[in-house]
Structure 1
Amino acid sequence: MRWLSLSLLAALLAAPAAAQPDGTALYGQHCAACHGAERLGGRGPALLPESMGRLRPAAAAEVIAKGRPATQMPGFASQLSGSEIEALAAHLFRPAPAGLRWDAAEIETSRQVLVPPEQLPARPVFDADPLNLFLVVETGDHHVTVLDGDRFVPIRRFPTRPALHGGPKFSADGRFTYLMSRDGWVTKYDLYSLQPVAEVRAGINSRNVALSSDGRFVAVANYLPRSLVLLNAGDLSVKRVIPAVGLRGGTTSRVSAVYDARPRRSFVVAMKDTPEVWEVSYDDDAPPVYTGLVHNHEKGMAEGLAASAGLFALRRIAVEEPLDDFMFDPAYRNLLGSAREGGRAVVVNLTVGRPVAEVPLEGLPHLGSGITWMEGGRRLMATPNLKRPEVDVIDMADWSIAARIPTDGPGFFLRSHERTPYAWTDSMMGAPGARDTIQVIDKRSMQVVRRLRPAPGRTAAHVEFTRDGRHALVSVWEDDGAVVVYDTETFEEVTRLPMRRPSGKYNVFNKIALSEGTSH
């Protein structure tokens, strides 16, 4: 028996180690049909580190095992072992394939015109006010609900590409909206006939879109590939692809966001990795601007490099550190921008093309959700903070702090309207006990005067106002959530509509009219 045991031990020691699961092979077998052989997406979304946001391998493994409710993603726990699921999840977080290209040719190949313009109706196919519609993005099952903003009844609910982001953009007449997914799909949707009319994939991982004020161009900010893409707004055909290459050593950058600056007839672009802000003109007669600056030490000044003019003339503004989030003053002369860990915001004057002031904002302001209003002859700007339980109010005359308003927890969205003296903000970034609360701030006294809990114990988020400012819509941000409608004078609940994890709600009129109470 002793000899047999030793022989068995020797055999075990000589045997090769158990093979580790091959994540690449598992992906090809179980995932490639929906998500693409290169993880670039197909019927399902792209599965690249840049595309999965805050999702971590452990959470990805749970999705692989259990699936995702209300989507076509099945669970694989009955087919794969725990180690196989872990290997597959790890494979998803490998870097994007080397030499990945998504340039004009690839973009154009993806483009589809679904409904020719001549087949579209002249008037809406419904009897609601087309300018008081809301688009409600339901992230729980990747749908958008078109909501009548007068009667608060859904008009149409339609499926979208997964993970819409950055907010829809509307044409000047409110007829068309442009939606963008994290996977870079841009969809043009006709709100009169309630159907998508064109679609294109402008990137592999995209951040947001902007629509030029003249309705001619759509700009797409990409993380992957690192580029700014300009499309014709009519049929979404490619107009230009601009690689995001910085001035200093040719460093490439992810593009954090792109915004339309209506009075300037330009797109303003935020860079994630290089310390500069871009302005890209869509004026056919734009005067010459310099494509770059270099410091001349003998003269002690910055000098221009090669100049460009006309359509898509590119102007670069140097800053000390990348500004990946910002908002504008109403005249679009200044932008207030912040870096992720900077502890301050920088005021960049777009007229002179340089920073002109700093503002101490240490709570990681969410400037993309900032608002402005007039009070006592002063133009005030306010922003929530992602890391501090306060709303910061800034006097735009001298960029000083006018007030710091305590809230129950750090917030993400701040909204108001010209016809109400109140601003509404959430605490959705705070502790569980605070996330269910909407705080109503009096813009005159700059004090919290009311607290609303649409669903106690459940996350409340993203307020948006109706066209006339008489009602405010709040999201209960849960898979079995709701949109709750409040009277903005009495703060009483008017109605609630069940929704699947409703996120942003976007009012057509407030967006195209550049309401001072909402983001642009």
Structure 2
Amino acid sequence: MKALISLALASVLLSGCALQSGPVERPLRATGDLGLVIERATGSVQIVEHSNNSSLARIEGLGDLSHATAVFSRDQRYAYVFGRDGGLTQIDMLQDRIVNRVIQGGNSIGGAISQDGRLIAVGNYEPGGVRVFDAQTLDMLADIPATPMPDGSRNARVVGVVDAPGQQFLFSLFDTGEIWQADFSQPTAPQLTRFENIGRQPYDALLTPDGRYYIAGLFGEDGLAKLDLWNPQQGVTRVLDGYGRGQEALPVYKMPHLEGWAQAGQLMFLPAIGQHRVLVMNAENWEQQAAIKVAGQPVFVMARPDARQVWVNFAFPDNQLIQVIDTQSLQVIKTIEPGPGVLHMEFTPRGEQVWLSVRDRNELQVWDTETLELVKTLPAQTPSGIFFSSRAHRIGL
């Protein structure tokens, strides 16, 4: 009996050794709490997780990330990073590696993933236009040149690329004042609709959370251009026309972003260009309801997922500050100073925490949104954009 037991034990030990001598298996994990942080000066990204607020990996070799954004596949496994050098990079979030990378243009300004997750659209400054790629292989499927400039020197620059229901992409043309609607429900034969004369210099755009309204901010004049995707035959209309009337025009040190435009019930909160104000618009009648004085020129105006708070960061020289607005009283309830160069914010999916990138301190900060206290810091090399994989299931991001 002892001999049999010894033989069995030896067999177990040997089998254990055999298992350990092979390739090391990666521990299983899901993708729902993962995120990607852009390290703009080093062409690298970090993969992070927000269940325990930790960094998991750094991936290098992504080129020029001085203005970079990311979207996620619908299973949240893959991130697609749009670099300023025209690079489109597919990253495996579970294996911490680059899967595919193409240089698809000369100067990219962001992109979007289609409703079904099969297409990636990239907006380009150079060459001006949109290029659409297969999400699995990064093979180019469509090349949509933007309107040529009057002198023929180049095409108009593309901004504000978003996905929309019905397998559509929407984008704006900065130089020629247009909004284009691209229907890819038949991928091999996309249908394009152009809306001209929408206003001067649309610089960024957003899609409302319900996927109905595409709204472009205008840099060349005070106001916004709105397209109702349920009724596109009505054309583009203007909202908040002349919102800066009577206000002192200030130099613009950094263009505000509409990607994080906040909505709380019927109220919408957006940055005013060249002003120290956050505008509050009523979504029922698209008229200004209030203006909230803030510490500097707002860049991102972002709502906590429950819409109870709006967090605002600022352009230089006030980019060391964050202000928190209560959406019921429309008052600033807290001013915090995370450090110089606060470039981006990202809320955890249910809003109990918010991550901040503090570029000039080379760190990420995690804040509790109830106590408004700092929870944790993580090292990062000149961090900018923070993108959590929960974005995969939100329209227009």
TM-score range, shorter chain: 0.7 to 0.9
The aligned counterpart of 1:197 is 99
> Equivalents in 2 of 1:439, 1:240: separation in Å?
42
The aligned counterpart of 2:259 is 368
CA-CA distance at 1:440 after TM superposition: 0.8
List runs of 5+ in structure 2 lacking aligned partners.
Answer: 1-24, 250-254
The aligned counterpart of 1:346 is 225
Greater relative CO, 1 or 2 (CA 8 Å, sep 6+): 2
The aligned counterpart of 2:381 is 500
CA-CA distance at 1:492 after TM superposition: 1.4
List runs of 5+ in structure 1 lacking aligned partners.
Answer: 1-123, 286-309
CA-CA distance at 1:369 after TM superposition: 2.9
Instruction: Give the residue type in structure 1 aligned to 2:336.
Output: L
**Structure 1 counterpart SS, 2:371:** coil
Deviation digits for residues 136-182 of structure 1 (CA, Å, limit 9, x no counterpart):
11113221111111111111111121225341010111111101211
RMSD: 2.4
> Equivalents in 2 of 1:173, 1:330: separation in Å?
20
The aligned counterpart of 1:64 is none
The aligned counterpart of 1:485 is 366
> Equivalents in 1 of 2:226, 2:37: separation in Å?
33
Instruction: Give the residue type in structure 2 aligned to 1:279.
Output: Q
Deviation digits for residues 216-241 of structure 1 (CA, Å, limit 9, x no counterpart):
11111111122211111110011121
- Among 87, 97, 118, the residue aligned to 1:216: 118
- Among 135, 143, 161, the residue aligned to 2:36: 135
The aligned counterpart of 1:102 is none
> Equivalents in 1 of 2:144, 2:343: separation in Å?
35
Deviation digits for residues 185-204 of structure 1 (CA, Å, limit 9, x no counterpart):
11111112221111111101
**Structure 1 counterpart SS, 2:259:** helix
> Equivalents in 2 of 1:405, 1:126: separation in Å?
48
Count the aligned residue pairs: 358
CA-CA distance at 1:371 after TM superposition: 1.9
Determine if contact 2:264/2:308 at 8 Å carries over to the other structure: no
The aligned counterpart of 1:312 is 190
Deviation digits for residues 109-137 of structure 1 (CA, Å, limit 9, x no counterpart):
xxxxxxxxxxxxxxx94555511112111
**Structure 2 counterpart SS, 1:264:** coil
Deviation digits for residues 339-366 of structure 1 (CA, Å, limit 9, x no counterpart):
2221111222232341233213438753
For residues 96-175 of structure 1, what are the structure 2 equivalents within 5 Å?
125-126=26-27, 129-159=30-60, 160-163=62-65, 165-175=67-77
Question: Does residue 332 in structure 1 map to residue 234 in structure 2?
Answer: no
> Equivalents in 2 of 1:373, 1:399: separation in Å?
14
With over 3 angstroms needed to count, the CA separation of the structure-2 counterparts of 1:435 and 1:255, relative to structure 1, is closer
Work out which of the two has the higher radius of gyration on C-alpha atoms and give 1 or 2: 1
TM-score normalised by length of structure 1: 0.65
- Name the stretch that deviates more: 355-364 or 404-413: 355-364
With over 3 angstroms needed to count, the CA separation of the structure-2 counterparts of 1:420 and 1:221, relative to structure 1, is closer
TM-score normalised by length of structure 2: 0.83
For residues 334-483 of structure 1, what are the structure 2 equivalents within 5 Å?
334-350=213-229, 351-353=231-233, 354-360=235-241, 361-362=243-244, 366-374=257-265, 379-419=266-306, 421-427=308-314, 429-431=315-317, 434-455=318-339, 458-478=340-360, 480-483=361-364
CA-CA distance at 1:411 after TM superposition: 1.8
Deviation digits for residues 70-110 of structure 1 (CA, Å, limit 9, x no counterpart):
xxxxxxxxxxxxxxxxxxxxxxxxxxxxxxxxxxxxxxxxx
The aligned counterpart of 2:173 is 271
Determine if contact 1:366/1:385 at 8 Å carries over to the other structure: no
The aligned counterpart of 2:155 is 252
Structure richer in helix, relative to its length: 1
CA-CA distance at 1:505 after TM superposition: 0.8
Determine if contact 1:164/1:179 at 8 Å carries over to the other structure: no
> Equivalents in 1 of 2:380, 2:301: separation in Å?
21
CA-CA distance at 1:249 after TM superposition: 10
Deviation digits for residues 311-333 of structure 1 (CA, Å, limit 9, x no counterpart):
41111122343423222222332
> Equivalents in 2 of 1:452, 1:254: separation in Å?
36
With over 3 angstroms needed to count, the CA separation of the structure-2 counterparts of 1:136 and 1:126, relative to structure 1, is farther
With over 3 angstroms needed to count, the CA separation of the structure-2 counterparts of 1:334 and 1:419, relative to structure 1, is closer
> Equivalents in 1 of 2:144, 2:344: separation in Å?
33
Structure richer in strand, relative to its length: 2
With over 3 angstroms needed to count, the CA separation of the structure-2 counterparts of 1:486 and 1:175, relative to structure 1, is same
> Equivalents in 2 of 1:359, 1:146: separation in Å?
39
**Structure 2 counterpart SS, 1:131:** coil
The aligned counterpart of 1:514 is 394
Determine if contact 1:365/1:383 at 8 Å carries over to the other structure: no
The aligned counterpart of 1:72 is none
CA-CA distance at 1:417 after TM superposition: 2.5
**Structure 1 counterpart SS, 2:117:** coil
**Structure 2 counterpart SS, 1:277:** strand
- Percent identical among aligned pairs is 27
**Structure 1 counterpart SS, 2:179:** strand
**Structure 1 counterpart SS, 2:41:** coil
Determine if contact 2:70/2:80 at 8 Å carries over to the other structure: yes
With over 3 angstroms needed to count, the CA separation of the structure-2 counterparts of 1:459 and 1:365, relative to structure 1, is closer
Determine if contact 1:421/1:443 at 8 Å carries over to the other structure: yes
